[in-house]
Structure 1
Amino acid sequence: MNANQTKDFQSKLKIELDSVRCEFLNELKDAQHEFTGELASMLENSTPGEWIDLAVTKINPNQFPRFQRLMELEAALCQIDIGQFGYCCDCETKLELLELSKDPAKQRCPVCEEKKRKKAHN
């Protein structure tokens, strides 16, 4: 993958990240629980880079799908920053460009994704 492709993916990831942050905040507010309202307020008064650390100990990511996506997008952008974007986070196999085009936040090759899925079901 060349630098221009990486920049294109980075741009797409940032655009989606901004959207997902807004959706997640609305998801918290719509939950109408005292603690989710407090968390939404806390996040609104924090920098976006602090959101995951603030929220991860307070919610179950499975209950808030937008939060799960937020973590995936942040991880992909972090991989770009450290030069590991486009490689499986488990085995470091190069990911297919077509797969990244479908989802630039993809973190795993098909083999490792299947292992993760099986492990989650056990």
Structure 2
Amino acid sequence: MTDDKTHLGSSETNLTDSHQNAKETSKNMDSNPMVEKISKSAHDTIDQLSETAVDKINNAKDTLSQFSGNFQEKAHQFMDKRDELAERLSAPIKRKPLSAIAIAFLAGALMTHICHRHR
């Protein structure tokens, strides 16, 4: 167990040293004009890509919103047509319910006769 603790302590020291070295390297790079120029160019590119991405996302949202509106409008039109058709089909049944029952019974009997005949 002592070896494990020693090993862990050694790892912590290595991490601390690595972190310190990274800080020093970063300081040295920040003072280099070439690194600063590349860094600025990279930041500018990232900013430009970010703005482009935001524009694309906003365009996609607008298109989706438009599509959603059109879809809802078409859905309402479909439901209105469905209700209109249901009313047109049910009106004669409501006027003459016994005739509707007789016609449905005869249609069922005819279908049964046709289905059994083809066996």
TM-score, length basis structure 1: 0.25
Q: Could you say which structure has the larger radius of gyration?
A: 2
Structure number with higher helix proportion: 2
TM-score, length basis structure 2: 0.26
User: RCO higher in 1 or 2 (8 Å CA, sep ≥ 6)?
Assistant: 1
